[in-house]
Structure 1
Amino acid sequence: MISSLFHAIIGLKSVWGELMKKGQEKKEMVYEYLLSFTEAKGYPPSVREICSALDIKSTSSVHSYLNQLESDGKIERDPTKPRALMIPELINKSIEMVPIPMVGKITAGEPVLAVENVEDYFQMPLKFVKHDNDLFILRVEGESMIEAGIHNGDFAIIEKASSAKNGDIVVAMIGSDATIKRYFKEKNHVRLQPENSSMAPIIVMECEILGKLVGLYRKY
């Protein structure tokens, strides 16, 4: 009987050891995914994105791994902000950032990057800026471009430009208002086409192009 009990205890230890080993491996996989995702996109993944990418069934399991990584000193988190997660290993790589001006209201007749138009600066990893052309950011207002994946509250990253090709998504001035639409130069007019099937195009004889869409940033 004692021998059977001894073997049962040994068996339990073996099973427990395997579970611990698998848990450690999964934790390392979560950490590696955090590193690769954050380095590629500039922000950390959500808990559900981690679940989906690593085939983890329960969000509570991911929270457990994140708690362990925090205890290990591999990540730092702000409990008041779901995605406020810092990875010291990435910071130590000294990712070079460049400031991109965030423009508020655009006034007709003024340079788009006039000091009075710039509300703030958005820091973006240098590797995401593929050229030296001037960039600025506009906050999207309205639902006119939702079928192009551009939603109210998104931050549109715009490359300054005074001309565009048909089909480009541009920032254009119409009178005293700036708008983001798809650009088409037609026979004797310009068509600024919304990407929303419930909205009609804007037809104008001419318009001033301020820039072209080159990227999009969305806060969750």
Structure 2
Amino acid sequence: MIKLTARQEQILKLIQDAIENTGFPPTRAEIAQILGFRSANAAEEHLQALARKGAIEISPGTSRGIRLVDASHDRSGLRGIIPAPHPAVMHLSLPLVGRVAAGSPILAQEHIDATYSVDPSLFRSRPDYLLKVRGMSMRDAGIMDGDLLAVKKADSAKNGEIVVARLGDDVTVKRYKKSGSVIELLPENPDFETIRVHPGREEFALEGLAVGLLRAWS
């Protein structure tokens, strides 16, 4: 069993709670703000210590690239970024959605590129399909171009959740925020702009919630 200091246990629990509540780990800045650190560098030092002890793994270059690796600490069912599992342990069949044609359902047969069989315990909630990520707008959430996002069909979301949304003829992955009647779809990359959806002005629909991520290692 991993031996941690009280502060390390506190940070690990914060990571667990963030993953359980939103599906994704916190940023260094969020950890620093919640725990009252003067800077994100202090949070980084504690994360590096947790990584050295084998409680987490850190993906360089992303603000949310934190993965829980000790099963005894992972209460969420979401294991973060994982390699595609070996066929011998696969037993949940999920359609892989590639590009989505304008005006047609996301799970229309012509959108299905392949079917993957995976272990359902890899996800915090049972997904309905995998969506191939296009672009880097969610880079700082650890979601990269070419990743396979596990999605559970849903028509509503809580603030802070990462969603798959349809805007007119486009399908996008963003973090959801609703204030009054206005919905904001927030990127996790400063190079991209927030999308604001005003009632009655745009054709908008939620397609699902992100519940996990698969990445095929080369």
TM-score under structure 2 length normalisation: 0.54
2:176 is the alignment partner of 1:183: yes
Number of matched pairs:
134
- Equivalent positions of 1:57-76 (< 5 A) are none
Q: Unpaired segments of 5 or more residues in structure 1? A: 1-51, 55-82
Letter paired with 1:208: A
User: Which residue of structure 1 lines up, in the alignment, with residue 149 of structure 2?
Assistant: 156
Please provide the CA RMSD for this pair.
2.9
Larger radius of gyration: 1
Change (3 A) 1:155 1:205: same
2:215 is the alignment partner of 1:204: no
2:215 is the alignment partner of 1:218: yes
User: Which residue of structure 1 lines up, in the alignment, with residue 96 of structure 2?
Assistant: 102
8 Å Cα contact 1:162-1:209 kept in structure 2:
yes
Deviation of 1:111 (Å): 2.8
Deviation of 1:198 (Å): 2.6
TM-score under structure 1 length normalisation: 0.54
User: Which residue of structure 2 lines up, in the alignment, with residue 111 of structure 1?
Assistant: 105
Hey, which of these two has a bigger chunk of helix by percent? 1
Q: Unpaired segments of 5 or more residues in structure 2? A: 1-51, 55-82
- Equivalent positions of 1:130-169 (< 5 A) are 135-169=128-162
Identical aligned residues as a percent: 37
Deviation of 1:109 (Å): 4.2
User: Which residue of structure 1 lines up, in the alignment, with residue 166 of structure 2?
Assistant: 173
User: Which residue of structure 2 lines up, in the alignment, with residue 195 of structure 1?
Assistant: 188
In structure 1, distance between residues paired with 2:193 and 2:162: 16
Q: Which has the higher contact order (CA 8 A, sep 6+)?
A: 2
User: Which residue of structure 1 lines up, in the alignment, with residue 119 of structure 2?
Assistant: 125
- Structure 1 residue ranges, 4+ long, deviating more than 4 angstroms after superposition: 83-86
